[in-house]
Chains A and B, each alone.
Chain A
């Protein structure tokens, strides 16, 4: 297991420029942030920009095993939206593969069905859409990771009440089972588990060997704050023990909110402290 950070830890500069700061702070890898992936897509020479990122990672001995793909309408009842999202996803996977990433993180989505019949249709389409995403990914020797989400607050209504599909790990397993693709696994978001009230150690154990990506961050159990580990209420020692128990040897990737608008010096100082804390956690 090694520590990493999502590249938006410094959000104001291009991804390739963030990399030296990550190395300097002590990170050995990271996740290509969605905001940076989009910058690749919008660049004058997208392929070249993505490749330059990969080359820079290699120079710095940084591993970037995962990327956060755009939030796609997986399971949406809107066919036009689906096709638009898949066109974008295909392009994002192409560029991510060129950038050296191997796993793309996707949210389960599905929206808020008004009736149980709609819910059933969304469940069917979700499986179909993830299967399609896995097929696209396979063309690039790429895997897809479905990320856990969390239930809504009390004022949201649907045919499933305020429950949101994908908040619980067995729900993610059900999609992985139904799709049946070899290049499909789970990205566990540690902050989301805390919001749903699922102890993190138990969450990792429930993922088991299907865990292929991590989003590590902390919160107060009420808001999705994306703070650094130990600043919230997550039981980290049990979580680290569980990661070892399931044999996870991949990235412990911090997906923490950037210090927007702060001087670069302060941001890098904070990065170093966060990396130290994460390293210490991994010694537990």
Chain B
């Protein structure tokens, strides 16, 4: 497993600059954040912006195999025009990511809160069709999709499915992936989401099994999606990391920790030195077994 960080920790910097600074700090891997892929896509010359990022990564020791595709994209949306717009954006982002050497795109399952059960069933059909189309597009570029687990809503959410949100259980992700039926679709496990949802990290990892191809590593107190650095919440990391080894996961151990943001870049980098050291310790097999 490679110790990795998502680039939005330095969201105020350009994609290339953020990658360069994090590579200098000693991170082994990076996930290009949604904000940064959006920045590349909306640059005056997106191809040149993508090439600049690729050059930075190529000149450093860091790997960047993973991108977080547009967070707000909803490929299960009922509005045909908006859904098509999302699909076009996602395809552009996949093409640009592939150009940067990225091989995996993290994506949310999408969906809204249906008023009637019939709407929910229609949404599930659109979700499968949308992912199938996107997976085929990605496959042509040697790219895979990693569908991320979500959390159910708060007590005041209302829908035909109550507070439940599709994709909050690993079982639902497997059902979705079975339905899509494409070999380049796997799971991105957000361990913080799983924790809020009431999963032990180790059990969530085991349920993902060999379909686990990406991770979002973050901690919280089990009640709110805090996105804090590991050990700042209540996740059992020792057992969770052991489970990752048990299932033979070799991808990024990728921190997605906006809960640690909010400082100027130079102070954020200071804070990250500690996060890097702590997480490296957690991933050290000898320390973990101690």
Within the assembled complex, what's the spacing in Å between the Cα atoms of A284 and B57?
Answer: 67
Q: Contact check, A154 vs B156: say whether CB atoms are below 8 A apart.
A: no
Residue of chain B at shortest CB distance from A150: B162
User: Given the known A-B contacts A168-B161, A170-B117, are A161 and B194 also in contact in the complex, defined by CB atoms under 8 Å?
Assistant: yes
Interface flags for B148-164 (1: CB within 8 Å of A; 0: not) read: 00001101111111111
Q: Are A114 and B203 in contact (CB under 8 A)?
A: yes
A157 to B115, CA, bound (A): 28
A163 within 8 A of B: yes
Whether B171 and A168, one on each chain, are in contact in the complex, defined by CB atoms closer than 8 angstroms, is no
**A162 CA to B159 CA, complexed, in Å:** 18
Q: Does B169 make an interface contact (CB < 8 A)?
A: yes
- Find out whether the CB atom of B116 lies under 8 angstroms from the CB atom of A202: yes
Q: What's the least CB distance linking A206 to chain B, in Å?
A: 5
The answer, yes or no, to whether B137 is at the interface (CB within 8 Å) is: no
Q: How many residues of A contact B (CB 8 A)?
A: 30
Structural contact, A151 and B207, CB atoms closer than 8 A:
no
| B165 shortest CB reach to chain A, Å | 11
B161 touches A195 (CB 8 A): no
Tell me, rounded to whole Å, the shortest Cβ–Cβ distance linking B189 to chain A.
13
A196-B163, A198-B161 are contacts. A163–B207 as well, Cβ < 8 Å? no
Instruction: Say whether B222 contacts A159, CB under 8 Å.
Output: no
Measured CB to CB, the nearest residue on chain A to B153 is A197
- The complex places the Cα of A167 from the Cα of B222 at a distance, in Å, of 21
Is B199 interfacial (CB-CB < 8 Å)? yes
Within 8 A of B (CB), among A191-242: 193, 195-199, 202, 205-206, 221-222
Asked if B160 contacts A163 (CB within 8 A), the reply is no
A265 contacts B by Cβ under 8 Å:
no
Docked pose: A193 CA to B152 CA in angstroms: 15
Contact of B197 among A162, A198, A199, A206 (CB under 8 A): A162
Q: Which B residues are CB-close (under 8 A) to A158?
A: 198
Give the Cβ gap from B90 to chain A, nearest Cβ, in Å.
28
Measured between C-beta atoms, what is the minimum distance from A218 to chain B in Å? 15
Q: Which residue of A lies closest to B117 (CB)?
A: A206
A116 to B162, CA, bound (A): 23
Q: Chain B contacts of A193 at CB under 8 A?
A: 162
- Minimum CB–CB distance from B202 to chain A (whole Å) comes to 10
> CB of B98 within 8 A of chain A?
no
A156 at the interface (CB under 8 A from B): yes
In the assembled complex, how far is the CB of residue A241 from the closest CB belonging to chain B, in whole angstroms? 14
What would 14 more interface pairs be, CB under 8 Å, given A163-B197, A199-B115? A115-B206, A151-B162, A151-B164, A156-B198, A157-B198, A158-B198, A162-B152, A163-B168, A163-B198, A167-B162, A167-B164, A197-B162, A205-B117, A221-B156
Q: Give the 10 A-B CB pairs with smallest separation, nearest first.
A: A162-B198, A196-B162, A161-B198, A161-B197, A197-B163, A197-B162, A198-B162, A154-B223, A161-B199, A157-B198
**Selected A-B contacts with CB under 8 Å, 18 pairs:** A115-B203, A116-B203, A116-B206, A151-B162, A154-B196, A155-B222, A155-B223, A159-B199, A159-B207, A160-B198, A163-B152, A168-B162, A195-B155, A198-B158, A198-B159, A199-B158, A199-B159, A202-B117
